[in-house]
Structure 1
Amino acid sequence: MSSSKAANTNAFLVPQFSPKNYSSFFLAGALCCTISHGAMTPIDVVKTRIQIDPAFKSHSFASGARYIVASEGPRGLLTGFGPTAVGYLAQGGAKFAGYEFWKKKFVEIAGSQEAAVEHRTAIYLGAATIAEFFADILLTPLEATRIRLVSQRGYATGLVSGFTRLAREGGVRELYAGFLPILCKQIPYAIGQFTVNEYCHELVFRSITEESKQKISQSPTLKYSISLGSGIIAGFAAAILSHPADTLLSQINKGHGPTGSMSSRLVALAREAGFKGLFAGLGPRMIMTAGLVSSQFLMYGAIKDALGAPAGIEIHK
């Protein structure tokens, strides 16, 4: 009897999240992603044009933005705002809630605190990958619409007309033509975003005293400052890891590349672009992604706090 009580005392306890908690995670993720991606639309427009429009190959971000304003007016920088906002509303909710869900599941599978800590990298990678896969099912048709609006001026007047035309002319196949490259882009992005952010937080908390940890827990300013710094570093990592596939995704949705299977088209486009071409527009995208990821983590934490949602599971060393 006493040994049983001792075993229960040392039992590995994982916080249980309710459906309401997951709905809070989803809402917080949806809002932080749609707000951040919507705000970054002008940067994304310039980045996409540099990637796929020969007229922009020699342009920097600043000169590209000036060229768009001069030729299309300021509204040209907001091309694709509708599908961006709606697409990342759905994708963001599924990604953040999914990451919380799968991280908890993998911690439970590990079976002990020690095993979870030892295998935390695999847990981060697995949770980010699975969450992003399902989130991309929601995102892909709207991302295809966004890229078509940005790359093909005059294609449609906005989200509804662009999505309707793409669905009517190409059907499901055209809407999901970029699913494989978007997975190749978004999964490395999510891995960089979540895994690097987790390790940045771990490095901070391993290098400070218990007294400092108490001060941080009681100070929203300190807590959000750490979240901001970790998010910027995670954003740089996410941009670098995902940029080659981002370039290929833009090319696929523009209709470039040979016919055939998606994998053969991606290989052909990658060979044609070369190393330098695959990383065209990386500078603007690193700026954009650092702003995206850091602002998302800040807003995600703040919205969760406002909704009274619990903190995610911590498995830092």
Structure 2
Amino acid sequence: MELSDHHHQKQQQQHYYSSSSSSPKRLFDLYALMSSQPRPSSSSSPSSNGVSNSKSLVIPAPKEKIEMYSPAFYAACTVGGSVSTGPTHMAVTPIDLVKCNMQIDPTKYKSITSGYGVLLKEQGAKGLFKGWVPTLLGYSAQGACKYGFYEFFKKYYSDIAGPEYAAKYKTLIYLAGSASAEVIAAVALCPMEAVKVRVQTQPGFARGLADGLPKLVKSEGALGLYKGIVPLWGRQIPYTMMKFASFETIVEMMYKHAIPKPKEQCSKSLQLGVSFAGGYVAGIFCALVSHPADNLVSFLNNSKGASVGDAVKKLGMWGLFTRGLPLRIVMIGTLTGAQWGLYDASKVFFGLPTSGGANAPPAKA
């Protein structure tokens, strides 16, 4: 019976492939007939069925390798940037809280230890995490833009430069890519940073984001959320340029001089350790170059109607560069090391190589 059915189907196929098969109805019938055929087993070869396999349009499974510099690659880097930046900044909220208050009111918050003592006495242990919600949301958005756009601009500028110049001037590409990314990332951060500073440094202003954001908008308008954007760029752009360029260089030097085998032969745990160490050292440099602008951001967001000139006059040049610096070095070093470690851990999770230790991305010839 099966043999006669097969013979009948074969005759029908020959009929539809004849010259008269140009009829739309017959083409439709042929498609319906072929669709009704039993599907070949996984052991059957394409040639045995007379039909070649085609690439299916499906979402890649998690185990499938992500193509470098594809949309999926940039999406993975964006997720990794958000996951690595928001939670780490939230974790150091107590340090950031004391640092901001030392910058705003050095008479009351004279040192790190006395600063913690004042906060614990006035607000209790719960007060040490004041402003954690805008911190988490703001820096999650900023980290997503920073890392995702850095990977994009690094490849984009490498393609513009060409293979020879991309390799020769890779540090310039790191600097340009990170600066471009931070211009966008700071815009994402600015509103939450404004709320965070007010909540942390003005007692009674608000309990957190839910009441602080509408209160700030009502007081200064929506544009008031971006009052500190210029000093924020002044803080974040040098910080990010140093963060990425120094990290790439430090990690490359570590693989070249401190580790006895090529990066590709190192275990993932060793590579992540290198990422953390390189990130910590890079973070120290970041704190040094961005600290004056950090003092300006804290001052402007805390004082209604204040200008950069007012900040310089009150803080003085020495205070602008040094007030709260030791605490910020500890905070930023730890933050940057943890961020690079978590970012590369997320890249490993997605099946991507860890950062650093290689030339700029290959440019289009």
Equivalent position to 1:308, from 340, 345, 351: 351
Contact 1:251 1:257 in 2 (8 A): no
Q: Distance in 2 between matches of 1:296 and 1:217?
A: 24
* 1:164 corresponding residue in structure 2: 214
Listed one character per residue, the Cα deviations across residues 214-256 of structure 1 (whole Å, up to 9, x for unaligned) are 5x74322321221122111100011011000000011100116
Residue identity in the other structure for 2:346? I
* 2:282 corresponding residue in structure 1: 234
Residue identity in the other structure for 1:213? P
- Residue 261 of structure 2 aligns to a residue whose secondary structure is helix
State the shift of 1:171 in Å: 1.3
* 2:266 corresponding residue in structure 1: 218
Q: Distance in 1 between matches of 2:258 and 2:119?
A: 48
Residue identity in the other structure for 1:212? K
* 2:7 corresponding residue in structure 1: none
Contact 2:93 2:131 in 1 (8 A): yes
* 2:142 corresponding residue in structure 1: 91
Matched, 1:201 2:243: no
Residue identity in the other structure for 1:37? H
State the shift of 1:18 in Å: 1.7
RMSD across aligned C-alpha pairs, in angstroms?
2.0
Give the 4+ runs in structure 1 shifted more than 6 A. none
Residue identity in the other structure for 1:288? M
Please list every run of 5 or more consecutive structure 1 residues that lacks an aligned counterpart in the other structure. Answer: 1-14, 259-264
Matched, 1:32 2:80: no
Listed one character per residue, the Cα deviations across residues 176-205 of structure 1 (whole Å, up to 9, x for unaligned) are 000000000001110111111011012122
Q: Distance in 2 between matches of 1:283 and 1:302?
A: 29
Q: Distance in 2 between matches of 1:157 and 1:64?
A: 20
Equivalent position to 1:254, from 296, 302, 311: 302
Q: Which has the larger Rg?
A: 2
* 1:80 corresponding residue in structure 2: 131
Contact 2:248 2:355 in 1 (8 A): no
State the shift of 1:67 in Å: 1.7
Listed one character per residue, the Cα deviations across residues 115-134 of structure 1 (whole Å, up to 9, x for unaligned) are 11221121111111110010
* 2:319 corresponding residue in structure 1: 277
Q: Distance in 2 between matches of 1:311 and 1:299?
A: 10
Matched, 1:44 2:96: yes
* 1:101 corresponding residue in structure 2: 152
Residue identity in the other structure for 2:283? G
Count of equivalent residues:
293
Contact 1:34 1:84 in 2 (8 A): yes
Listed one character per residue, the Cα deviations across residues 95-149 of structure 1 (whole Å, up to 9, x for unaligned) are 000110000011111111x311221121111111110010111100000000000
Contact 1:229 1:294 in 2 (8 A): yes
Percent identity, aligned pairs only, is 35
* 1:70 corresponding residue in structure 2: 121
Q: Distance in 2 between matches of 1:133 and 1:44?
A: 23
Listed one character per residue, the Cα deviations across residues 69-92 of structure 1 (whole Å, up to 9, x for unaligned) are 122101111011000000011000
Q: Distance in 2 between matches of 1:226 and 1:202?
A: 10
State the shift of 1:257 in Å: 6.7
Q: Distance in 2 between matches of 1:222 and 1:35?
A: 23
Contact 1:32 1:296 in 2 (8 A): yes
Residue identity in the other structure for 2:191? P
Matched, 1:299 2:342: yes
TM-score (norm 1): 0.87
Listed one character per residue, the Cα deviations across residues 256-292 of structure 1 (whole Å, up to 9, x for unaligned) are 675xxxxxx2144224322321120000000000010
Q: Distance in 1 between matches of 2:216 and 2:178?
A: 30
- Residue 166 of structure 1 aligns to a residue whose secondary structure is helix
Equivalent position to 2:71, from 3, 9, 19: 19
Equivalent position to 1:129, from 179, 192, 203: 179
